[in-house]
């Protein structure tokens, strides 16, 4: 083989072995060849037994004239010619009372290399004897015994040279092998083409789609196109298309969040200056002796402090660096009251806030972050109530083993079906014009930081219920 062809053959072999379609081809060839071998070997055994039976039948026909009365009238030459057609050296006809010996030649063989009794030979034994004949049957003397149909005789025995039988068997095996190879190649090719078009090519398309999307997941043109196939591959294509579309949407949201963080960072300095001026003004107002001012000034100062904190927290959320919760055991009811008060001040309509939390119930949480969670959910409920004059927002809480469950319920119109799947995604969960859609996302992230969650329990025309779950610390 020329040296320049060896690398090419090596590359082709690697491609054949390492590719899915190549492995399918090799496995198909292997399985078909195994199937053909299971047919070839029994066929060899049957052919070998048939050849031996043919020799027996020929020998019976050859000696049949000599078993009748008047057989002595045949000349010696005619007798030799008839026996020679039986391809036998000796033919022995066994009767109950005697054995008749028929010689083709005057020289009688002294031994037999192999004795085969056709009366007790099975197909499995014929397979073994046939293979033995192919590999070792050159110039051996066979002693074949078989029941006979000659009247008055029990068996007929033939001594013959195995070489002609081996030549016939080799010719038959060679022809059968070529036919088996032809059938195997044709079957393997058909099976391979079927598997290639049904399995390998669609899997290759899926693989290329995944690689292309991985290289640039922000390019929507690289999202896989789902096929209309109803099998598992079609379902995999559709699921891949959905997954890539959702991942593309998440990446877009992350990009918007990054832009939000950058925008807030640019206005952070000016906003702090403005709020600082407002804080100074509120401090001066606190020194006024007017009772109304004395009552409202602390709330104004607290609101300004929270405004500064919320601006900083919005910056942290956009930059994904929210500080971990500083947890301690605190009463839950005052936090709910404070959040209700802030939500009521921000609401434009009169709402009925009901705090049903037990004053003795304590929670292991960061008070400031828990306040933000409750405030965000309360504001969302207030916005959902719209202009209703009978709007009610109620909060209940209970301790279940080592966690506290807080339910926030309103009697609003419920959440539309199209919003439920993206309810907790940033910029997707707001139905109010001008809303940012960050309230529920921030609330859930803060709950996750505590090891808990915010979930939608129920929604409908009768109202909506959200649940906040805050588990205790493991070492608490």
Kindly report the CATH number assigned to the domain that includes residue 361: 3.30.565.10
The answer to whether the beta carbons of residues 148 and 156 sit under 8 Å apart is yes
Contacts of 414 (CB under 8 A, 6+ apart): 459, 460, 461, 462, 463, 464
Overall pTM surpassing 0.85 (yes/no)? no
What confidence score (pLDDT) does residue 68 get?
Answer: 65
Which positions of the chain have pLDDT values less than 50? 1, 4-5, 8-9, 269, 319-320, 433-435
* 5 located within any domain: no
List, edge to edge, every strand of the sheet that includes 99-103: 99-103, 90-95, 153-161, 141-147, 114-117
Whose CA is closest to 86, among 113, 117, 107, 65? 65
Residue that terminates a domain, selected from 164, 186, 208: 186
Contact 294, 288 (CB under 8 A): yes
Domain tally for the chain?
Answer: 2
- How many whole angstroms separate alpha carbon 393 and alpha carbon 391? 7
Question: Regarding beta strands 328-331 and 141-147, do their DSSP bridges make them parallel or antiparallel, or are they unpaired?
Answer: unpaired
Residues 6+ away with beta carbon under 8 Å from 140:
113, 114, 161, 162, 163
Amino acid 370: pLDDT: 93
Q: How many residues does the chain have?
A: 476
Quote the pLDDT of residue 435.
46
Does the residue 195 lie in any domain? no
Domain membership of residue 4 (yes or no) is no
Residue 395 lies in a domain: yes
Task: Tell me which residue of 73, 20, 32 sits closest to 203, measured CA to CA.
Answer: 20
Tell me, what's the pLDDT at 19?
63
Quick check: 339 and 357 in contact, CB under 8 A?
no
Give the residue from 186, 202, 228 where a domain finishes: 186
Q: Tokens 């500064």 map to which residue? A: 308
Measured between alpha carbons, how far is 110 from 13 in angstroms, rounded to an integer?
57
- Cα–Cα distance for residue pair 470/336, rounded to 1 Å: 14
| 193 Cβ contact partners less than 8 Å away, ≥ 6 residues apart | none
| Domain annotation covers residue 393 | yes
Could you tell me if residue 437 is inside a domain? yes
Q: Are 442 and 432 in contact (CB under 8 A)?
A: no
Last residue of a domain, one of 152, 168, 186: 186
Instruction: Provide the pLDDT for residue 469.
Output: 95
**Structure-block tokens of residue 355:** 């705090």
Q: Which two tokens stand for residue 369?
A: 């972050």
User: In this predicted structure, what is the pLDDT of residue 360?
Assistant: 94
Q: Distances in Å between the alpha carbon of 290 and those of 283, 286, 296, 300?
A: 14, 9, 10, 15
**Does residue 337 lie within any of the structural domains?**
yes
Residue 177 lies in a domain: yes
What residues make up the domain containing 432?
A: 324-471
């Amino acid at each position: 083989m020329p040296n320049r062809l060896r690398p090419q053959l090596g590359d082709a072999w690697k491609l054949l072995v390492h590719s899915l379609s190549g492995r399918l081809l090799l496995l198909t060839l292997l399985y078909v060849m195994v199937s053909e071998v299971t047919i070839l070997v029994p066929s060899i055994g049957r052919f070998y037994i048939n050849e031996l039976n043919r020799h027996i039948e020929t020998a019976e026909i050859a000696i049949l004239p000599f078993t009748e009365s008047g057989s002595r009238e045949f000349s010696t030459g005619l007798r030799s010619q008839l026996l020679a057609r039986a391809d036998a050296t000796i033919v022995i006809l066994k009767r109950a009372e005697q054995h008749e010996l028929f010689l083709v030649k005057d020289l009688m063989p002294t031994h037999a290399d192999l004795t085969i009794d056709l009366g007790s030979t099975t197909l499995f034994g014929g397979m073994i004897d046939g293979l033995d004949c192919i590999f070792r049957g050159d110039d051996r003397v066979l002693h074949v015994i078989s029941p006979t149909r000659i009247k008055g005789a029990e068996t007929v025995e033939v001594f013959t040279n195995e070489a002609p039988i081996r030549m016939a068997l080799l010719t038959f095996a060679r022809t059968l092998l070529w036919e088996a190879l032809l059938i195997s190649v044709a079957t393997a090719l058909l099976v391979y083409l079927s598997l290639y078009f049904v399995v390998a090519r669609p899997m290759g398309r899926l693989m290329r789609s995944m690689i292309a999307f991985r290289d640039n997941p922000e390019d929507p043109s690289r999202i896989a196109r789902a096929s209309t196939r109803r099998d598992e591959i079609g379902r995999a294509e559709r699921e891949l298309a959905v997954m890539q579309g959702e991942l593309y949407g998440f990446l877009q949201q992350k990009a918007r969040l990054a832009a939000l963080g950058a925008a807030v960072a640019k206005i952070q300095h000016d906003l702090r200056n403005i709020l600082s001026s407002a804080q100074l003004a509120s401090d001066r107002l606190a020194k006024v002796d007017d009772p109304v001012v004395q009552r409202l000034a602390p709330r104004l100062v607290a609101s300004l402090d929270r405004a500064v904190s919320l601006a900083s927290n919005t910056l942290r959320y956009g930059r994904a660096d929210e500080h971990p919760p500083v947890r301690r055991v605190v009463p839950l009811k005052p936090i709910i009251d404070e959040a209700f008060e802030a939500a009521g001040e921000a609401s434009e309509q009169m709402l009925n806030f009901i705090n049903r939390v037990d004053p003795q119930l304590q929670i292991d949480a960061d008070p400031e972050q828990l306040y933000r969670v409750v405030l965000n959910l309360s504001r969302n409920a207030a916005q959902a109530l719209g202009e209703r004059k009978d709007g009610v927002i109620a909060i209940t809480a209970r301790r279940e083993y080592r966690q506290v469950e807080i339910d926030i319920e309103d009697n609003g119109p419920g959440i539309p079906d199209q919003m439920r799947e993206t309810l907790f995604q940033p910029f997707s969960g707001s139905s109010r014009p001008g809303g940012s859609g960050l309230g529920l996302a921030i609330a859930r992230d803060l709950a996750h930081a505590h090891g808990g969650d915010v979930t939608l329990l129920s929604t409908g025309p009768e109202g909506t219920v959200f649940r906040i779950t805050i588990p205790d610390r493991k070492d608490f």
